[in-house]
Amino acid sequence: MPGSFALAYDNPDTKRLPDYASTLSDSSGKFVIYLPQGGTYYLGARIHAWDMPRPGELYGKYGDPEPTPVAVADGSFVEGIRIVLSPFTGTYKEGKSRRPY
């Protein structure tokens, strides 16, 4: 989805603020997340990078129903990751996550 963010987490708990976020995806929906080091990451994507998704916001994660780990080697890129966005159907919880500033 053009104009969305890809998100990376350092553990499978993706129901929190992300550890890393991409710049906006390009007109084809492609994204790049620059990570500080290799390791195992769990990916998601959405329109807003902070706060909990609101009902109807486009949201997705890599892996269904549980996040699928992605192994990244030091100094390399992983290609071919596809995250499908669909309307969030969960419940928004006020104050669940806040901007870091």
pLDDT at 101: 44
User: What is residue 6's three-state secondary structure?
Assistant: strand
**In terms of Cα–Cα distance, which of 40, 31, 24, 11 is closest to 80?**
31
- C-alpha–C-alpha distance, residues 53 and 87, integer Å: 10
Instruction: For residue 56, count CB atoms less than 10 angstroms from its CB and return exposed for 0-12, middle for 13-18, buried for 19 or more.
Output: exposed
Kindly state the DSSP code that residue 28 receives in the 8-state scheme.
Answer: T
Please state whether beta strands 39-46 and 58-61 pair in parallel, antiparallel, or not at all (unpaired).
antiparallel
The proportion of the chain whose per-residue pLDDT surpasses 70, expressed as a percent, equals 91
pLDDT in tens, 40-83: 999 999 987 667 788 899 999 999 889 999 999 999 999 999 99
Instruction: Dump pLDDT digits (tens) for 34-46.
Output: 999 999 999 999 9
Predicted TM-score of the model (pTM): 0.84
